[in-house]
């Protein structure tokens, strides 16, 4: 699959290495990765089913949680089946257009998830800082519009990435991607020609999503904390902050792995390649695994409904 460094050609397919440097351990690595993927799928499907069945959960916060669960399913499914095929069947080959499609889904829905967290922060801000208007402001229609806006933003931000690669970078030095999925920079670095525009656009999108979204969420929580500190009793403050606990945990679970992976990729030049790739996979797996757990543990209504379903299923018929 490799070419000489001086030869550039138009590829019809690319070759994903999996976890570089750990090829001999692929079959063993498949055990934790397949287990984590199954946990992510079962957890998010369970959250969707519980919210659908329990009418008391048909509220803005839980509608956003449904969107989060769907996005997490898409994010994990966009990469894990191919990774497991590499581990189990040595299916390294991927069609060039399929590679660009995978790249779009990974980056687009990571951007959409960040937008949903921003919308959830707005929901918590209204619920705590202006509770009397919460039901009139956060209507089902507005929730739907916010979800659609997050999706459209993701599409508008990310659609140019594969298009610029397809139109501006037709020739490649090699077909071998030292990665387990088609990440934008992993593909761009293979190209012949000037990649400055692609690099700058990718960095710009990263700044808009990671930095600006997290700053906006932080600003909303500063106002929330100011409102909470104005409450009369410590019990009232703890109860009010408790309603934000799940959201704060989910935000940290999402942004911290992305930040660590991005910083390691940009500045960790002495970090072994397999560490880069493992971190990149974990940031697509950790939120889908932990988000259902966080909300199931911290949200009383979801927890009670789950326990009711488990008890009903365990009773003899």
Q: Which tens digits make up the pLDDT trace of 137-173?
A: 999 999 999 999 999 999 999 999 999 999 999 999 9
What is the Cα–Cα distance from 317 to 59, expressed in whole angstroms? 33
Banded model confidence at residue 3, pLDDT cuts 50, 70, 90: very low
Banded model confidence at residue 265, pLDDT cuts 50, 70, 90: low
Provide, rounded to the nearest whole percent, the portion of the chain with pLDDT above 70.
93
Q: What is the pTM of this model?
A: 0.92
Q: What was the pLDDT predicted at 168?
A: 92
β-pairing, 93-95 vs 176-177, is: unpaired
Answer yes or no: is pLDDT of 296 > 70: yes
Banded model confidence at residue 2, pLDDT cuts 50, 70, 90: very low
The tokens describing 78, both together, are: 């966009």
What is the Cα–Cα distance from 85 to 80, expressed in whole angstroms? 8
Q: What was the pLDDT predicted at 288?
A: 93
């Amino acid at each position: 699959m490799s070419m000489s460094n001086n030869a550039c050609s138009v590829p019809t397919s690319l070759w994903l290495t999996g976890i570089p440097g750990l090829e001999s351990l692929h079959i063993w690595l498949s055990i934790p990765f397949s287990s984590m993927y199954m946990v992510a799928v079962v957890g998010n499907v369970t959250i969707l089913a519980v919210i659908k069945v329990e009418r008391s959960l048909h509220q803005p916060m839980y509608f956003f949680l449904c969107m989060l669960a769907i996005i997490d399913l898409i994010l994990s499914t966009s990469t894990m089946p191919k990774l497991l095929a590499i581990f189990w069947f040595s299916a390294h080959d991927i069609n060039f257009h399929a590679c660009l499609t995978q790249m779009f889904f990974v980056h687009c829905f990571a951007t959409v998830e960040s937008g949903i967290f921003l919308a959830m922060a707005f929901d918590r801000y209204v619920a705590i800082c202006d509770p009397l208007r919460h039901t009139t402001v956060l209507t089902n229609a507005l929730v739907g519009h916010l979800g659609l806006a997050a999706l459209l933003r993701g599409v508008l931000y990310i659609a140019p990435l594969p298009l610029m690669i397809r139109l501006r970078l037709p020739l490649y030095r090699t077909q071998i991607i030292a990665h387990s999925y088609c990440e934008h920079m992993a593909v761009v670095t293979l190209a012949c020609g000037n990649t400055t525009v692609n690099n700058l656009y990718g960095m710009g999108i990263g700044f808009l999503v990671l930095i600006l979204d997290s700053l906006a969420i932080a600003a909303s929580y500063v106002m929330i904390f100011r409102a909470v500190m104005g409450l009369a009793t410590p019990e009232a403050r703890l109860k009010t902050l408790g309603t934000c606990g799940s959201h704060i945990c989910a935000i940290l679970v999402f942004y911290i792995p992305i930040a660590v992976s991005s910083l390691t990729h940009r500045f960790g030049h002495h970090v072994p390649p397999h560490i880069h790739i493992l971190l990149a996979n974990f940031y697509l797996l950790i939120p889908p695994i932990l988000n259902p757990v966080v909300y199931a543990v911290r949200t009383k209504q979801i927890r009670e409904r789950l326990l009711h379903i488990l008890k009903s299923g365990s009773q003899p018929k």
